[in-house]
Amino acid sequence: MGEGGSGERQPGSRWAHNAARAGGAVVSAMVRNPARSGGDATVAALAAPGAAGSIRGALLGALDLLLPRACVSCDQLLSQTETGVVCGLCWTRVIRLASPQCERCGHPLTSGPCAWCNLLPPFVRAVRSYCWMPVEPASSIVHALKYAGWSNVADQMVERMTRLSWPRDVVEERAGLVPIPLASARKRERGYNQSALFAAGLSERWRVPIWENLVVRSRETRSQTQLTPEQRRGNVAGSFQIGARNFEALVGAHVIIVDDVVTTAATLNECAKVLYDAGARIISYVTFGRAHASGDRL
C-alpha cells in the first residue's frame, strides 16, 4: 500500500492530533450534532433550513479569526473562500503526468514501446494516476492524509482523480471498486484506510459500488517504501485473499482497484491476481500518485 508515498516522518506543528476536529469542524459539530438529540430547541432552530447557512457561516468566520486555518501542504493561511485543507496555489503546483500517455497504462510516452506496461499482468486493462510522486507538493498532501490524520483531504484528491481520462470500454464496463486493504495495525493507528476513502469518493461520483471487504490481508507485510522492485514483489506475494466467498457479482466483472500511490505495481498486481483467480474477467487500477523513475518526463 502506498508504495511510493512519502516516508513516515514526524508531523509538523501545524497538524493537530485529531485533524478532523480542527478549525471549522468544531463549529460544525456544535451546530449539527446537538440538534439531532432534540433536547435544545435553540440549537435546533439554528440548524433549521432558513437560519443554518447564515448563522453557521458567521460562526465559521469568527472561528477563522480565532483559529485561522492553514494549508496542510505549505502552511499558508487559507482564505474563507477555500473549503478544503489544501490551498488552491498548492493544487496548481502539483505535477501531473505529462501527455501524450500510453492508452493502456497512462504512463507518459517516450520514444519506442511503452516500458511501464511490462509491469502489468495481461488481464490488467488500464491504469490511471493523477500526479507524480514523490514530488512536492503532492508528497506533503499524501503525507497529511496517511500520517497526520487529515482524512478530509481525501475528497480533494478524489475530485482530481475523477478528471482522469479512461478508455471508453473501462467507463462502460466498470462494475465495482476494490480498495487495497490496509494492514490491521496500520489501520488501528491511522483510524481509516485511505484507499477506502478514495473508493468511497469515486463510488459517489461514478455511481459504481464499493466492494471493500472482497479482498482482505492474509498476512502483515513490511512497508514497501525502502524496498527494491524484487523485494517489493516478494514482500506482497501471497499477502491477499478473497474475504467474501461466492461473491457472484465478481464473476466476469471489470473491477477497478483503488490505491493511493503506485511505484512498481507489485501490491496492485498481487491484489489483481487474487481477484482474477476468483472470477474477475478484467481489472484496471486507479491511484492518486505514481512514482517517477529516471527517464520519465516530469
Residues in the chain: 298
Q: What angle do the packed helices 194-206 and 153-161 form, to 10 degrees? A: 50
159 CB-near residues (< 8 Å, 6+ apart): 201
Encode 126-155: b = buried (16+ Cβ within 10 Å), e = exposed.
bbbbbbbbbeebbbbbbbbbbbbbbbbbbb
Q: Report d(CA 116, CA 62) in Å as an integer.
A: 51
Task: Break the chain into its structural domains and give their ranges.
Answer: 19-90, 95-291
For β-strands 124-133 and 282-291, DSSP reports them as parallel
What nine digits make up the cell of 77? 493561511
Least Cα distance to 239 among 212, 264, 211, 272 occurs for 272
pLDDT of residue 10: 43
What nine digits make up the cell of 213? 471487504
The sheet carrying 254-262 orders its strands as 124-133, 282-291, 254-262, 174-179
Could you say which DSSP state residue 175 is in?
A: E
100 cis-preceded (ω within 30 degrees of 0): yes
Q: Are 178 and 258 in contact (CB under 8 A)?
A: yes
Q: Report d(CA 77, CA 3) in Å as an integer.
A: 31
Could you say which DSSP state residue 101 is in?
A: B
89 CB-near residues (< 8 Å, 6+ apart): 74, 76
95-291 folds as Rossmann fold (3.40.50)
Q: Where are the alpha helices (DSSP H) in the chain?
A: 24-37, 41-46, 49-66, 88-93, 138-147, 153-161, 168-173, 184-190, 194-206, 229-236, 266-277
Least Cα distance to 275 among 292, 298, 252 occurs for 252
Angle at 187 between CA 229 and CA 126, to 5 degrees: 45
Amino acid at 217: R
> Going residue by residue through the chain (298 aa), what tens digit of pLDDT does each one get?
555 444 444 444 444 444 443 444 433 333 333 333 333 333 344 344 556 666 766 665 555 555 678 999 999 999 888 989 999 999 999 999 999 999 999 999 987 789 899 999 999 999 999 999 999 999 999 999 999 999 999 999 999 999 999 999 999 999 999 999 998 888 999 999 999 999 999 999 999 999 999 999 876 665 656 566 666 665 676 678 999 877 999 999 999 999 999 999 999 999 999 999 999 999 999 999 999 987 788 7
